[in-house]
A and B are shown apart, each in its own frame.
Chain A
Amino acid sequence: MRVSIFRFVPGMDAKPRMQDYEFELPRDRDLMVLDVLEQLKAHDSSISYRRSCREGVCGSDGMNMNGKNGLACKTPVSEVAKRDRLELRPLPGLPVIRDLVVDMSQFYRQYERVEPYLNNDSPPPAQERLQSQEERAKLDGLYECILCACCTTSCPSFWWNPDKFLGPAALLQSYRFLADSRDTATEERLAKLDDPYSVFRCRGVMNCVNSCPKDLNPTRAINQIRTLLVKSGT
């Protein structure tokens, strides 16, 4: 199999290039894309990428594999390789630090904007703020996000306006706290979202749903935020 890897070191390279490597796939088992990268790095230590848990929990190794964003550690080569070719590029729309490593600052700034923590001005109880099972169930499909940025960096609206549109990951987290029965700042949160960009720049192309390695649905969360805004504003 031929593996093409995006290579670029800003400040050293004049422009990005794709470097090809030949890789012999084992016949008796499938490999994850991260396994391929690890073995290639053993031969060429200059290849740079992020990785940590290698089991789809930390969200470090988000990258673009043959045109689709995903986590290299839980993407089988057989699922993405086409005609014996595998093309690995950094997550699109974010500045490249080196090879497959991108600068996530803009992504985290948008995450910070949605205040991803409980806001509750009532005095805290002695032990904890309780929820019913139904209230807790509303957070399913929202809290599991690992902030790998696969969804946000596959969204054209984020490519065009990364400083204004919050992006699917931040909006999923925004709704996670809007839906939380223990949060009392719903109106304040909604007021901060009622501009033409933050939420409403979502055009519903659903690239986020297609690329989420945790099978979450940010588009649904965005529509639920819109519904809350309509209810609150009309």
Chain B
Amino acid sequence: MVVSATSLSRSGLTDFLLQRVSAIVLGLYGLCIVGFLLANPEVDYDAWVQYMASPVMLLFGTLSIVSLGVHAWIGMWTIGTDYLSEHKMGRRAVFLRLIYQGLVALSIFVYLLVGLAILWQFPFGSA
């Protein structure tokens, strides 16, 4: 058993399942968006806001943004631990990996905040 403190769940199986479930959520959300646009080719801003502000789409959108964060962290963590490994780079890999993981975590956090802010402005209106 290889111990890893920075993987999302510390369990290979849980990370594996989270990545697949989040991919399904994102795929279904994408289908909803594309389906709406195809079904309403003449869509205007008001119709778009009405669709996105519906409770189902708000919840689905929130779930999708969280799924995106989960999916991105597992994927980017895997890439970082592949390429920035002690085996290839020696001890400096730990330092580089921490910087890399910090930047990735910060980016995902900002994306989450901005994404949720954009999504939840629809029911409450900002402009």
A-to-B contact residues, CB < 8 Å: 156-157, 160-164, 191-201, 226, 229-230, 233-234
Residue from B12, B15, B82 in contact with A198 in the complex, judged by beta carbons closer than 8 Å: B12
Q: Which residues of A contact B127 (CB under 8 A)?
A: none
The binding surface of chain B is classed by DSSP as helix
Q: Mark B92-124, 1 if CB is under 8 A from A, else 0.
A: 000000000000000000000000000000000
Q: Which residues of A contact B38 (CB under 8 A)?
A: none
Is B12's CB under 8 angstroms from A199's CB?
A: yes
Interface residues in B64-115 by Cβ distance below 8 A to A read 78, 81-83, 85, 87-88
The binding surface of chain A is classed by DSSP as loop
Q: Which residues of B contact A194 (CB under 8 A)?
A: 1, 11-13
Of the candidate stretches B2-10, B25-33, B43-51, B52-60, the one touching chain A is: B2-10
User: Does B39 sit within 8 A of A, measured CB to CB?
Assistant: no
Is A230's CB under 8 angstroms from B88's CB?
A: no
With A229-B13, A233-B13 as contacts: A198 and B87 at CB distance below 8 Å: no
A and B contact pairs by CB, cutoff 8 A, 22 listed:
A160-B82, A160-B83, A160-B87, A161-B87, A193-B1, A194-B1, A194-B11, A195-B2, A196-B10, A196-B15, A196-B81, A197-B2, A197-B81, A198-B12, A199-B12, A201-B78, A201-B82, A229-B12, A230-B13, A233-B11, A233-B13, A233-B14
Is B7's CB under 8 angstroms from A196's CB?
A: yes
Who on chain B is nearest to A197 by CB? B2
Q: Which residues of A contact B11 (CB under 8 A)?
A: 194-196, 233
